[in-house]
Amino acid sequence: MSKADQEQPTCTFGALLTALIFFFLAFQTNAQERCATVPYTKQLQQRNIVREDPARFEEWLQRRMSERRIRMDAQRRQATTYRVPVVVHVIHNGEPVGTGSNISDEQILSQIAVLNRDFQRLNADASNTPAAFLPVAGSLDIEFVMAKQTPEGFPTNGIVRVQGTRTEWTLNDNYELKSLSYWPAEDYLNIWVTTLASSYVGFAQFPVSDLPGLENSSTNRLTDGIVIHYDVFGSVEDGDFDLDPQYNRGRTTTHEMGHFFGLRHIWGDDEAQSDACSGTDYVDDTPNQSFSTNGCPTGTRVTCGTENMYMNFLDYTNDACMNLFTVGQVERMTTVLENSPRRASLLTSHALLDPEPVADNLGIKNIISPSPAECNASVTPVIELQNNGTNAVTSTRIRLVVDGVPVETTDFSIDIDPQETTTVSFSPQSISSGANHFLFEILLTNGVSDARANDNVREIEVIVPELIDVPFSEPFATIPPGWSINNPDGQVTWQLASAPSASPTNTAMKLNFYEYEDGRGELDLLTSPVFDLSDVPVAYISFDVAHAQFRGSTDRLRIYVLTNCDDDLFNGTVVYDKSGSALATVPSSNAPFIPSGSGDWRTEIIDLSPWLGETSVQLVFAGTNDWGNNLYIDNISVVTTADEDLALRDVMRPAPVLCENTVVPQLMIQNTGTVTITSFNINMTV
């Protein structure tokens, strides 16, 4: 979809990361669309943006598929059942289990049963596949299995229940939602079941590829998986669940799972093109089709000169009216399963196996100290240990290695029962500015070799941030040393860009939300050096901002204040939070926004007095993407002197030509300083 066609609500559709949104039209009998998925278009690519190239991903897939065909012919198709471990995170609203969004275990298992039937073509309604399509009906020998052990190796039923921090979720909350509960995506297929805001019922993240040229694709393992609205998850075929009447047989999840393994919509996502038959799903045996199909049609439908396969799982027909994948789709999914990171690794996950209890098995659960960022020249290392075995653990020997050099090996006396935790501390270690590497390793547990090695080592890279004297003012002529950019999804992020203000050659920090089609809700952080407010009488942030909306977009800028080099935003304080029209400094624009002069900028001033006395303060400028329009910030200053500055802007009265005999003089005065002005004196001479 081109930017010009962008509508709300919508979703992103990239080669690698996609968010596939189903319009939630449960009670509309004439639903026009089930999913607002949008493809890249030639128009977007004509902007000469360096970003994901779907065609190259397809080339890679096609090449791998033909390689695989040759290999499989040679091997005469050895039977392999792909087994994929699933964890279902139920992000509920505090209801009892089995009520509302806190769906029952039985409902969850009914969805897993649907996946296994649909992918293996064991679905009862496979008999509804028209005769014309039977020759291409495919089955994938895959089994979805609820995870049998947690990341720590404890038994689990593969279901995690967490009360959400909000009552409903949008795509923009993607990161926050998934951070509530997540198991490593290399070993687990994460499915989050929750309450999605009313316009859609599911979305998935496409598989990533290691093909050269895809450097701009999302690398965010923390968001990999599928999100499904709770009342379309599960099937009425397997129980009396309170499901949406249109989407009550678990096919939303079948459809999204197809995306998770690399499938595209059967009509080729070309509805925004002038020729709706020009797109493709890159699968040979699915007929060309112009648009998505809704509802539950019968009989033959012809578009693009071919009979449409509207009962394919990658179309949008009602759950009861879809019934097949094709051989070509199965081949494509197989290629992804065997080659794509975080897909292939699922097939050998320990989560597929029953945990094998071992006697003396201590694990390092967390490194409590040092943190990824530290202010001080010395830290006292502290780690959290967990007993992952069946014996109580009374002693352990642990080695600490700093920058490759063993600095301490200690025998600790502890006393923890199975599954319990404790902490142990080491001697203070000095650290230097820049990067420092800490590695902890369990050498002995209860005086013997630890029974399982995989949880015995933890390491951390510790950064000591640079310091900056106050006051300072950063004009961003370059990206200055000491400022850091954090780009979790590896896509669009803060960059230096031309941004005319009073000077036409001015540069500023820019977030290119206009072209940030993938990854709505993604955060991009610009973090300041550390500064000291322990010995100043006042402190303020001053910065300039420029932003235009794109239609009703809600791109967002927040400023966090962090202390003590704690780089966890959740521990910070939000001192500025504007989005949409409140953030905008100019009228909404459908073109990529570039400020044209000082009139397009606004100066913001924020009081830092709550942090007076703190020795280590940092600012984080956090942009949140809504695929709207560009955001610029510039001239970030920390001011430590009270600036009392009043400006006389205009004489409103008297007017230059006056007819009355008396006049009440009126002036326009602007506070251009950094502190509140409560009184002032003005001298008037007539």
Task: State the residues that interact with Zn ion by CB under 5 A.
Answer: 20, 35, 37
For the beta carbon of residue 385, count every other beta carbon within 10 angstroms. Answer: 25
Q: Which of 89, 120, 88, 130 is nearest to 254 (CA)?
A: 120
Q: Which of 364, 357, 415 is nearest to 386 (CA)?
A: 364
Q: Which of 265, 151, 251 is nearest to 206 (CA)?
A: 265
DSSP string, 197-266: -TT-SEEEPPPP---TT-TTS---GGG-SEEEEGGGSSBTTSS-----SSS-BSHHHHHHHHHHTT---T
C-beta of 35: minimal distance to Zn ion in Å? 5
283, amino acid identity: V
The reply to whether 176 belongs to the active site is no
End-to-end CA distance of the chain: 66
- Four-residue CA torsion sign, 164, 166, 168, 169: negative
Between 35 and 191, whose beta carbon lies closer to Zn ion?
35
Token pair 């303020």 in the structure block, residue: 540
Token pair 């404890």 in the structure block, residue: 154
Between 253 and 387, whose beta carbon lies closer to Zn ion?
253
C-beta of 273: minimal distance to Zn ion in Å? 18
Quote the CA–CA distance of 105 and 113 in Å, as a whole number: 12
Quote the CA–CA distance of 333 and 138 in Å, as a whole number: 11
Between 20 and 362, whose beta carbon lies closer to Zn ion?
20
For residue 478, give the DSSP letter.
S
Task: Name 102's Cβ contacts closer than 8 Å, sequence gap at least 6.
Answer: 90, 92, 93, 94, 95, 96, 161
Between 315 and 450, whose beta carbon lies closer to Zn ion?
315
DSSP string, 358-385: -SS-EEEEEEEES-SB--SSEE--EEEE
Quote the CA–CA distance of 274 and 640 in Å, as a whole number: 59
Strand runs labelled E in 51-153: 82-92, 137-138, 142-146
Between 204 and 424, whose beta carbon lies closer to Zn ion?
204
C-beta of 286: minimal distance to Zn ion in Å? 14
Between 267 and 621, whose beta carbon lies closer to Zn ion?
267
Between 201 and 208, whose beta carbon lies closer to Zn ion?
201
For the beta carbon of residue 358, count every other beta carbon within 10 angstroms. Answer: 15
* Residue nearest Zn ion, Cβ-based: 20
C-beta of 200: minimal distance to Zn ion in Å? 10
Quote the CA–CA distance of 332 and 325 in Å, as a whole number: 11
Helix (H) or strand (E) holding 421: strand 421-425
Quote the CA–CA distance of 310 and 320 in Å, as a whole number: 12
For residue 35, give the DSSP letter.
B
C-beta of 13: minimal distance to Zn ion in Å? 9
Between 37 and 308, whose beta carbon lies closer to Zn ion?
37
Asked whether the bond before 341 is cis by omega within 30 degrees of 0, the reply is no
C-beta of 255: minimal distance to Zn ion in Å? 5
C-beta of 1: minimal distance to Zn ion in Å? 14
| 442 φ, ψ (degrees, to nearest 5) | -80, 125
Task: Report the alpha-carbon angle 256-260-264, nearest 5.
Answer: 75
Quote the CA–CA distance of 524 and 562 in Å, as a whole number: 16
Between 26 and 444, whose beta carbon lies closer to Zn ion?
26
Between 140 and 523, whose beta carbon lies closer to Zn ion?
140
C-beta of 19: minimal distance to Zn ion in Å? 10
Among 256, 331, 515, 517, which one carries the catalytic annotation?
A: 256
Between 201 and 546, whose beta carbon lies closer to Zn ion?
201
Q: Which of 128, 66, 566 is nearest to 309 (CA)?
A: 128
Q: Which of 187, 183, 149 is nearest to 358 (CA)?
A: 149
Q: Which residues are catalytic?
A: 256
